[in-house]
Structure 1
Amino acid sequence: MNFRPLHDRVLVRRVEAEEKTSGGIIIPDSAKEKPQEGEIVAAGTGARDDSGNVHPLEVKAGDRILFGKWSGTEVKLNGEDLLIMKESDILGIVG
Structure 2
Amino acid sequence: MHPSVPSLKGALHMTFRPLHDRVAIKRLEGEDRSKGGIIIPDTAKEKPQEGEVVAVGPGGRDESGKHIQIDLKVGDIVLFGKWSGTEIKIDGQDLLIMKESDIMGVVHKTKAVKKAA
Same fold (TM over 0.5): yes
**TM-score bin (small chain):** over 0.9
- Give the aligned residue type for 2:48: P
| Bigger CA radius of gyration | 2
Q: List runs of 5+ in structure 1 lacking aligned partners.
A: none
CA-atom RMSD, angstroms?
Answer: 0.9
Q: Sequence identity of aligned pairs in percent?
A: 64
Q: 1:45 aligns with which of 41, 45, 58?
A: 58
Q: List runs of 5+ in structure 2 lacking aligned partners.
A: 5-14, 109-117
Q: 2:36 aligns with which of 18, 23, 28?
A: 23
- Give 1:94's aligned residue: 107
TM-score (norm 1): 0.95
- Give 1:75's aligned residue: 88
TM-score (norm 2): 0.78
In structure 2, distance between residues paired with 1:30 and 1:84: 23
In structure 1, distance between residues paired with 2:93 and 2:42: 19
Dislocated runs of 4+, deviation >3 Å = none
- Aligned to 2:89, what secondary structure does the other structure show? strand
Equivalenced residues, count: 95
